[in-house]
Amino acid sequence: MSTPSISAPDFAGHDFDYIVIGGGTAGLAVAARLSEDPNLVVGVLEAGPEALQDNAINSPGQFLQILGTKYDWQFETVPQEGLGGRALAWPRGRVLGGTSALNLMTWNRGNKEDYDAWEQLGNKGWGWDGLLPFFKKAEAFHAPDKKTQSANREYYEPGAIGTDGPVHASYSKQYSKTHQLCYDALVALGIPENKSHHAGSNVGVWTNPVSVDPDRNTRSYAAPAYYVPNSSRRNLLVLTEALAHEIILEQKSGQWTATGVRFSYGDDSFVAQASREVILSAGSVQSPQLLELSGIGNPQVLEEAGIEVRVPNPNVGENLQDHLMTVSVFEIDPNIQVKNLGAPASPFCYLPVSTAVSEEESKLLLSKVEILERSTPEKDEILRSRFDPEANLGQFEYIFELGNWNSNFHPDPSNGKRYASVLQILQYPFSRGSIHICPPNFSRKDGSRSTIATKPAIDPGYYYGEKGEVDLETMKQCMRFSDKLCKSTPLSSVVGSRVAPPSSVTSDADLRDWVARNTTTDWHPVGTCAMGGHDGIRSGVVDDRLRVYNVKRLRVVDASIMPLQISAHLQATVYAIAEKGARLILEDSVEKGT
């Protein structure tokens, strides 16, 4: 495999057409597609190292061992009032390939309605039909043989998948005994099998594909997928361990224009120039951070941090949405082998609220939703519609996994007991938060300012306010489905008593308290540089061609542009955003004749 080999001075002295900030999931995909044109010179700045040979990343079975290492930015939220004052770890990839090198490799898509909602908000071309070609362009799906497909329920819709893209997607080669037991229990509960879960609806139960190259049994992520095959291109230059500090903005014809990037390598500082565009692909945490450090954002936030205001936009860093998760833990038959089978291999189940709770509870939740203050009518109305009893959308994801996945449950290892977990993940949160640069500990007299070295303040606002109250109530009610699942045959033949929440948690009040004290994140932040749609800069940061409002030659291409959360893990969608973003950039370049 090839390793990035350009020096920092050479990178800074290069004549680039495009500079991509962030060599992660989206950034490497964008750079690879732009550099397909040999007349374009593309540079990529990545803060982390390359780790192409590191088995901790490449081996699917070691996915949890990478978190908290040198490959992780090790971000943390501010204490969350809605979680009893707890702060949560927020892993993000600091390595060539970004978070695609750290994630759990889940490969799925949201519902057609999720993406159509983006277009409904005024973002032309971002509905399901507009995105499907880019989902397919990114993936190389390995279809299972008929025998395996039947044995493990490995279903797919041929017309909805891509077969020759850079990222490998496949079904696991091994499954535990509980895979079939859980699958059958869900079906016995009346949950429909979904044999076309990539084709616009993931509701129901289905077997989960993963981003693994089945021929090599290695993680398939952005670095080996998009960079390595193209690393010999003379017009694609990647500098790792280079930390971007700010986007260089200059006044041209009376408008702020991105002309380059100031970055550091070791103790030295450099500036690299881009003659066409700077493309920000630093993710939902650091894309807004870099915009603010460059003078683009809420004037109050910038002034408190000692940053000169260049382009006022109060939406930068706002609209943060994340998937919230609780984990129930059950004792399990000690004869069940709890061992690492590689990438997570489980039946996935997405359910509407009306399926996961009783009719009475569903009506109660709907009544709470209907009285919410309509601060952003169009977005709120879309979220309200997903509680409609007729809506067939996955408000909740349920995953049954062997082992203890609850970080707050600490059993005595000497008791000889074994455990299984049910992960309950809220897909369409009302909770909203923000990510902003922090005011430094400085005196105005010495002119200090916030820098990239200061981690931003991440405040997801979990369960906060009346909107967060709806999320908390929804999570509380939908947790009960896990008990129902584990008590259903044939899964009940190997699953015993529940230990988290403990058996003493029976009342609504106790369960509500336990949820607040045990909710964590599924690490799917979006929305902090969202597309503005119909409302433009009044509610967003970029337009539907991903151009930053009121700044020329600057775009954002990553998960931060998503205006509303989706019912899915983010990986495949981020690749689709990158593929589409690269297409938009090339189209605009041709239109301008540049």
At 468, which helix (H) or strand (E)?
helix 465-486
Whole-angstrom Cα distance, residue 588 to residue 318? 28
Whole-angstrom Cα distance, residue 33 to residue 405? 38
Give the per-residue pLDDT at 344. 66
Report the chain's mean pLDDT, rounded to a whole number.
93
Give the per-residue pLDDT at 1. 42
* CA neighbor of 191 nearest in space, from 405, 360, 348: 348
Which residues of the chain register pLDDT less than 70?
1-4, 338-344, 373-376, 440-447, 591-594
Question: Residues with Cβ < 8 Å from 441, sequence gap 6 or more?
Answer: none
Q: How far apart are the first and last CA of the chain?
A: 34
The number of beta carbons lying within 10 Å of the beta carbon of residue 430 is 24
Whole-angstrom Cα distance, residue 40 to residue 28? 15
Give the per-residue pLDDT at 564. 97
- List active site positions: 524
Strands (E), 411-472: 418-426, 434-436, 457-459
- The pLDDT tens digits for 123-170 are 999 999 999 999 999 999 999 998 889 899 999 999 999 999 999 999
- The pLDDT tens digits for 435-461 are 999 876 543 445 578 889 899 999 999
Whole-angstrom Cα distance, residue 482 to residue 421? 9
Give the per-residue pLDDT at 296. 98
Q: Which domains does the chain have, with CATH numbers?
A: 1-170+209-320+434-455+525-594 (3.50.50.60), 172-208+324-426+463-518 (3.30.560.10)
Q: Half-sphere exposure (CA, 13 Å, Cβ side) for 336?
A: 24
Residues facing residue 556 across a β-bridge? 280
Render the burial of 128-157: b for 16+ CB within 10 Å, e for the rest: bebbbebbbbbbbbbebeeeebeebbbbbe
Whole-angstrom Cα distance, residue 143 to residue 184? 23
Q: Is 124 left (phi over 0), alpha (psi -120 to 50) or beta?
A: beta
Q: Is residue 211 a contact partner of residue 571, using CB atoms and an 8 Å limit?
A: yes
Q: Is residue 557 a contact partner of residue 11, using CB atoms and an 8 Å limit?
A: no
At 401, which helix (H) or strand (E)?
strand 396-402
Backbone angles phi, psi at 569, to 5 degrees: -70, 155
Q: Where are the alpha helices (DSSP H) in 166-231?
A: 177-188, 222
Q: Is residue 450 a contact partner of residue 437, using CB atoms and an 8 Å limit?
A: yes
Give the per-residue pLDDT at 593. 57
The model's pTM is: 0.96
